[in-house]
Amino acid sequence: MRRQLPLVMTFIAGIIPVIALFSPHPIVVNIAARADRWLVIVYAFALLLGVVSVVQSNSRKIARRDKGWPYAVVLLTGLTVMGGFGFLGNFGIFGGITTTPDGRPTPFQWSYSNVFLPLQATMFSLLAFYMASASFRAFRARNLAAGLLMVSALFVMFGRIPTGEAVPFVPMITEWIMDNPNAAAQRGIIIGAALGAASMSLRVILGIERSHLGLGRGE
């Protein structure tokens, strides 16, 4: 029972979308639509699992005065304040989570735009720097494969900017690389990966692959 029930439920849930692709019958369509609705809700519940873990581990850090514990205080403060605004927003306290009727941001929205967003965007923008250092180090023509990698990267980098476009043939070659060898390889990888994913999916539905359930594998 303990081992079988999760696997049986996996199987039953797994064949719904398979049938739904081939059956237009309203009963099937309705079951699939309900399943879609259910699982969005189940997923929303899962967030609390993470919250519990974060609160536990950070309060432990503070209680034990672990190295860097003040940062745990910062984290929990951020979580409590933002989470508080957000949760209370459900009941209309602090004006909800978007804007107040007169168009001004609620505290939740304000923190989102002035704390969350700048942090997120700046973290993301670090990539511009990392791309430069990675390409300086990795794009060396050590052998044929590495050479091709470098040459196509340089062409595309150059061909996508106005300066490169002004050079005869460069935009054409860039476009050609993207449309031909690139599209071919992408397509090969997509088809291969999709087959692999489909086979993996089938293994999961059949209960052969089950390590994500902590049930070990195999027979």
Partner 1 sequence: MHLVDRLLATDRRIIYLLVGLGALIPLLIPIGLPVTVTPPVRSAFEKIESLPAGSVVVISFDYGPSTAPENDPQAGAVMRHCFARGIRVVGMALYPLGGLSVAVEEINKVAAEFPVTYGVDYVNLGYKDGAQAAMRRMNEDLHELFPRDASGRPIGELLLMQEVRSLKDTDLVFSFATGIIGEWWINLVNAQFGTPVAVGSTAVGTPKYYAYLKAGQAVGLLGGLKGASEYERLLSDHYPDVARIYESPLLYTATQGMDIQTIVHLVIIALVLAGNILYFTSRIMRRSSPGGRRA
Partner 2 sequence: MQDRSKRRRLARSGSTPPLRTAFFPAALALAAVAGAACAPASAAAQGARTQAPLEVVAKDRPGDAGGRIVVTWREAPGAPASTYRIERSSDGTGPFEPVGEAPPRSTRFEDAGAPAGDPFFYRVVAVLPAGEAVSETTSAAFSRANWFRNDRTNALILVLAFMGLIVGFIEAARRGTKLFIRRISGLSAIDEAIGRATEMGRKILYVPGIQSMDEIQTIASLAILGYVAKVSATYGADLDVPNRDPLTYAAARETVKHAYMEAGRPDLYREETVNYITYDQFAYTAAVTGRMVREKPATNFFIGSFYAESLILSEMGQTTGAIQIAGTAEVFQLPFFVATCDYTLIGEELYAASAYLSREPVLLGSIKGQDIAKALLLVLGAAGVVLTTFGNPIVANWLTMR
Partner 3 sequence: MPDIGTWVGAFLSLAILTFLYRDNPFFRFAESLFAGVALGYYIGNQTNQTIKPNLVLALARDFSANWDLIFAGLLGIGLYFRYIQKVAWLARVPLGIYVGYYVGVTLMQKLHGEVLPQMKDTILPLSAPGLAAVWNILMVVGVFSVLLYFFFSLEHRGALGVASRVGILFVMVSFGAAFGYTVMGRVSLLIGRLNFLVNDWLRPLIRAVF
Residue 181 partner contact from partner 2, partner 1, partner 3, none using kind-dependent CB cut-offs of 5 to 8 Å: partner 3
Residue 166 partner contact from partner 2, partner 3, partner 1, none using kind-dependent CB cut-offs of 5 to 8 Å: partner 1
b/e code 178-209 from CB counts within 10 Å (16+ = b): beeeeeeeeeeeeeeeeeeeeeeeeebbebeb
Q: Is 62 in the site for partner 3 (CB under 8 A)?
A: no
Q: Is 29 in the site for partner 2 (CB under 8 A)?
A: yes
Residue 17 partner contact from partner 2, partner 1, partner 3, none using kind-dependent CB cut-offs of 5 to 8 Å: partner 3
Could you tell me which residues are beta bridge partners of residue 29? Answer: none
Q: CA–CA separation, 34 vs 27, rounded Å?
A: 11
Q: Using CB under 8 A, which residues numbered 120 to 159 contact partner 2? A: 120, 123-124, 126-127, 130-131, 133-135, 137-139, 149
String marking each residue 99-138 x if it binds partner 3 according to CB under 8 A: ---------x-xxxxxxxxxxxxxxxxxxxx-x---x---
b/e code 119-146 from CB counts within 10 Å (16+ = b): eeeeeeeeeeeeeeeeeeeebeeeeeee
b/e code 62-76 from CB counts within 10 Å (16+ = b): eeeeeeeeeebeebb
Contact residues for partner 1 (CB under 8 A)?
Answer: 32-33, 36-37, 39-40, 112-113, 117, 120-121, 124, 128-129, 131-133, 135-137, 139-142, 150, 153-154, 157-158, 160-166, 171, 175, 178-179, 182-183, 186-187, 190
